[in-house]
Structure 1
């Protein structure tokens, strides 16, 4: 197939989780013989923080404006078997309208932020998607599964809403033989709605266990936040540094955005990355979690700092390693970028045949 993806970013992972998803998906589509063009709006904050300026798979092009996009890439979109627009693309609604007018193949909207998108649409505040555009996308691909898919079809008129979850790259994320530096770590960009959960599940545990060592990595945390003395703060880590960070932890913490907790069935890419490294996960609770990992066998669920601390102090090293190994096997069998590429192929072929 000829595939054109218009996404938020593939060249920079700074402050977003889109880049790693697109990198894995594009690489696997290219490996499977597809001709993939990724189009990214050139914006200053990504230009200053490009950790993969020239992806070695497919073809990546930057555009400066809608006029530049239409002037240089209309023929690519017209000839594509799949033209896919992602969430949070700058002026994405206008981009999507242009794609729907121009494309002759299957059109798709890839929502990496589904609960946030639906909330914005309800408030009339979404600048990358409008309700009237949804029926014009032959596929609505969503990071969120479960009941939300039926809602998208029923309330927004999507012809076919399908799950296309995040994934991980097992070639990059793997166990490493090293002695963990931290009892518990967390990797994630600051989010106002995640911070109280991080406070409850990790920082309370850190204060109750001064001898324990903890770490929080990620950008955009406000300077006024007060961190316990035994919590190491690490600024933005580029994706190539993620595996080493995970492998330096005895356990890793997963915290989910509030909108995604309410929707359920919205796994974070951090879940799959950490599991692929064989690092046991302590996660917050949300509907549908058990469809990705089996609680108590492939990860732990915590609802308080006290419960987190009990896992850290009472789970034996052999039990911890066995849980990490089981989670890794689950990821390798169901949640790699290759799995997502194959799933996308099947969706596009079905849509092209009128399914």
Structure 2
């Protein structure tokens, strides 16, 4: 059976945190027998910053970022048994959603996959997602990157037939312990692009502790950060390729996760970097948010900080031996509970059950 997946990019993680998620989920779905074609626009510099070649397990169609080319790509939805439009494609999102919905066969599934549910729901509440609000009741279901029971209830309130959280996870073949590298050595590292709804939290949880503890060395990865704006003990290194993530995660004494405002508030939205870092055996410090215990056990598998003062307190008391023990337990939890193979089991069950029901309904 065939899946047509319309998303931001599977080839590039450049300004595209969903890339690792897409790769893990889709590769695991292929193991269930699905044939997947991923449609992504040539936009936002992503094709110039690819970090993987087109994979053997998924056909990738890169289309020019023009209305006509988008329409041609959307028309290919008619060939698929399951059609997925993801949030945050980045160009022509509304038009693409309307086009793929119209092109999908009556006996095929129309699915919306939300990789930023808190932001999408806020936009619908503010009437900034008129197309999604209009077509949502006609879709066969919603899958979300995270969000937990609250997000599912909110989607139901907007008329969604069903909403299934499919949380981030790890591909154990991609993220694993490697020898540390001197270029990433430091006391604390953070990886995240500079975004308006994250910047204040990065300042509070990362930059302010750095200013208060000039004896500590800090590493800042991600696009948009300017070295001259940072404390002297913080070194900005720009975009970090996916191939370097393992070394980035294992070389520091600890790695920091900072959720964006909306995801921290809604909870149950662990970003990819939590799973990547834990699978590599890193000692992870995260900001506090509802649901963290669903994924890692606080104080045993992850360290939780409510503000920058607690980040600094944790670092001051963190020995190398304890950091390694926490990292080891976190990796064991990832491999036991949070692989993309487990997530794909959920998605496969959802697709097969709904597809059978849809075809029975269509044939009646």
After TM superposition, give the deviation of residue 193 of structure 1 in Å: 2.5
Q: Which residue of 1 aligns with 2:69?
A: 68
Q: Choose the corresponding residue for 1:257, options 257, 260, 263.
A: 260
Unaligned residue ranges in structure 2 (runs of 5+): 359-364
**8 Å CA contact retained: 1:184, 1:215:** yes
After TM superposition, give the deviation of residue 207 of structure 1 in Å: 2.1
Q: How does 1:329-348 map onto structure 2 within 5 Å? A: 329-348=332-351
Pair 1:215-2:219 in alignment: yes
Pair 1:25-2:28 in alignment: no
Q: Which residue of 1 aligns with 2:171?
A: 169
Pair 1:111-2:124 in alignment: no
Pair 1:200-2:204 in alignment: yes
Q: Which runs of 4+ in 1 moved over 6 A?
A: none
After TM superposition, give the deviation of residue 312 of structure 1 in Å: 1.6
Pair 1:101-2:102 in alignment: yes
Give secondary structure in 2 for the equivalent of 1:57: coil
Pair 1:191-2:195 in alignment: yes
After TM superposition, give the deviation of residue 73 of structure 1 in Å: 6.0
CA distance in 2, matches of 1:73, 1:199: 41
Give secondary structure in 2 for the equivalent of 1:312: helix
Give secondary structure in 1 for the equivalent of 2:204: helix
Give secondary structure in 1 for the equivalent of 2:45: helix
**8 Å CA contact retained: 2:181, 2:247:** no
After TM superposition, give the deviation of residue 172 of structure 1 in Å: 1.6
Q: How does 1:144-163 map onto structure 2 within 5 Å? A: 144-153=147-156, 155-163=157-165
User: Could you report, residue by residue, the CA deviation over 1:156-185 in whole angstroms, capped at 9, with x for unpaired residues?
Assistant: 100011101222221121112337711110
TM-score by length of 1: 0.93
CA distance in 2, matches of 1:288, 1:168: 18
Pair 1:57-2:28 in alignment: no
CA distance in 2, matches of 1:72, 1:283: 40
**8 Å CA contact retained: 1:66, 1:95:** no
CA distance in 2, matches of 1:84, 1:318: 45
Give secondary structure in 2 for the equivalent of 1:25: helix
Q: CA RMSD in A?
A: 2.0
CA distance in 1, matches of 2:254, 2:275: 14
**8 Å CA contact retained: 2:179, 2:247:** no
User: Could you report, residue by residue, the CA deviation over 1:120-168 in whole angstroms, capped at 9, with x for unpaired residues?
Assistant: 12222238x5201111221100122221101111x21000111012222
CA distance in 1, matches of 2:129, 2:9: 18
**8 Å CA contact retained: 1:115, 1:260:** yes
After TM superposition, give the deviation of residue 331 of structure 1 in Å: 1.3
Task: Provide closer, same or farther for how the CA distance between residues 44 and 163 of structure 1 changes in structure 2, counting only shifts above 3 A.
Answer: closer
CA distance in 1, matches of 2:315, 2:82: 47
Q: Which residue of 1 aligns with 2:135?
A: 133
- Name whichever of 105-114 and 27-36 sits farther off: 27-36
Q: Which residue of 1 aligns with 2:244?
A: 241
CA distance in 2, matches of 1:224, 1:196: 17
CA distance in 2, matches of 1:94, 1:275: 38
After TM superposition, give the deviation of residue 19 of structure 1 in Å: 1.4
CA distance in 1, matches of 2:196, 2:49: 23
Unaligned residue ranges in structure 1 (runs of 5+): none
The number of aligned residues is 351
